[in-house]
Structure formats: structure tokens, C-alpha cells
Structure 1
Amino acid sequence: MREILHVQGGQCGNQIGSKFWEVICDEHGIDPSGRFNTDGKSSENQLERINVYYNEASGGRYVPRAVLMDLEPGTMDSIRSGPYGQIFRPDNFVFGQSGAGNNWAKGHYTEGAELIDVVLDVVRKEAENCDCLQGGEHFKVKSSQFYLSYNL
């Protein structure tokens, strides 16, 4: 089994990541509660590679292997209250309280520096739960340019 660890950060990265999870859930037949949809529209083939992006939890729930981070709580609150907000592991939401106010130095040296150990700990825990971590993907915005990094 090969697993991918997904990390999304910042307001735009989390908004794009949230939509990404909606699409992935739809492709795999996962409903907003994290369960495989057995309404007749889904097929068993959708479960074939589900372990690439999801961990199977108790009760047949599928939980995204994702870490969501931001320097302020607003985006996290929006994701949690969104249609697929309840499928994420609550411990994997990592956020600060004040944000950086579009100040790179504040985000890098103060607010971000305070969160980095917590983020790395959550990423480490997710990676340790994998049988064979294939790689990771990261959604974020830097200098007004969106990019997705994928490492093997």
C-alpha cells in the first residue's frame, strides 16, 4: 500500500485544499460523514485505491490523511463548518490566533515559528501511521502564485 500525506497551509491553500477533498471524496464515493456511499451510484471499484489518501477509522469511516494549518482560526472555522468539514481528524487542524497581517517577517519569525513544532509533530504522527509513505503534497500560496509541490 502506498500512501500520500497531504498538507495545506494559509487561507488560499486551505480553500483550494478543501475543494480538493470534496472532489476526491466524490471520486471515491465518500459522503460528508466519511462513509462509503452505498446509494447505488457508487461502485466497489472506488474503494480500490482509497488508502492512498485516507485512513480507515472505526465504524467504516474514512479520514483524510491531511494536515491543515494557518496562522489564524478563520479559515479553519470555515472548513470545519463546510460540507466536508467533519471528515478531518480534529487534531490535524493547526492554527494560531492572530495571523501575520500580510507581514512576511511576522509570519516567518514569530507567529509561524511558534506553530512549526506543532505542525511537524502532527505531520510526523500522520507519517508514522502509514505502512509505506510514498510522498506528500502541499497546497499553499507564496508571493501570489499558487503551486503544488509533490515529493517522492
Structure 2
Amino acid sequence: MEVLQFIHSYWAYLVLFVLVVATLNALFKFFGNKEFDAKDFRISLFALITMHIQLLLGLILWFTKGYFDEMTVGEVMKNSTIRNLAVEHPTTMIIAVILVTIGYSKHKKKLVSKPKFKMLAIFYTLALVLVLAKIPWNLWFS
């Protein structure tokens, strides 16, 4: 389980980097009226893939950690640190992955560049805000 925790923790840096790149790419190209090309497709796809891998790692960790094995739901909810790790962080990150997935799916249905970038920019930006809000920064920099 320590190996999985290590992978989940360090994969998160890649996920954050790729999500920032994909979001900025979509925003700059949307506002710059650029054409959507294969590179843009690959960037958005890589963000989707890295986030889904991170989600899978996180779900495996969540189920193996056993937060609710030794504590009741009430005890977990009263402890802000454990509540963040057991409830708030996973829930927020699942929502972020859903947003990236929706944005990626919607952009593929658009036929011209501006709406493609608009879908990616909206959904990836929302996902990035959620990810940044719920990264356990205290664990990253300790």
C-alpha cells in the first residue's frame, strides 16, 4: 500500500502539470482564435488519461485505507484532517475527473476550432480550480 500511495502522490504532479498545460492551451487558443490541430487533441487527451489513471489509483487507495473500518462516519466527519482525506478530497477529485471527461467528450462533437476550445477551456478550467482547491498541500510540502 505504501508503494501505491507513493505512486498516487507523485503521479499527482504529472496530472497537475498536464491539466495546467491543457487548460492554458485551450484558453490561449480560444481567445487567440487559433485552429484546432492534432497537438491540441493529444494535449487534451493526455490530460484525460492522466486524470483517469490518478482516479483509479486514488479509488484503490481509498478502498484499502479503510477510513471507515475503525471510525464511524460521525467520527470521520468531526475530524477535519481525516474528513478531508476520506471524503472531501476524493469527492472533489471525482467531480474534477467528471468535468474533464465531459469537456473532452463535448469538444469532440464540435466541428470547428472555436467551440472545441471553448468546451475544453470551460470544463478543464473548472476541473483545475477544483483540483487546486483540494490538493492536500500540507502533505505535498511536508
User: Does TM, scored on the shorter chain, surpass 0.5?
Assistant: no
Identify, as 1 or 2, the structure richer in helix. 2
Identify, as 1 or 2, the structure richer in strand. 1
What is the TM-score of this pair, normalised by structure 2? 0.35
User: Looking at CA atoms only, which structure, 1 or 2, has the larger radius of gyration?
Assistant: 2
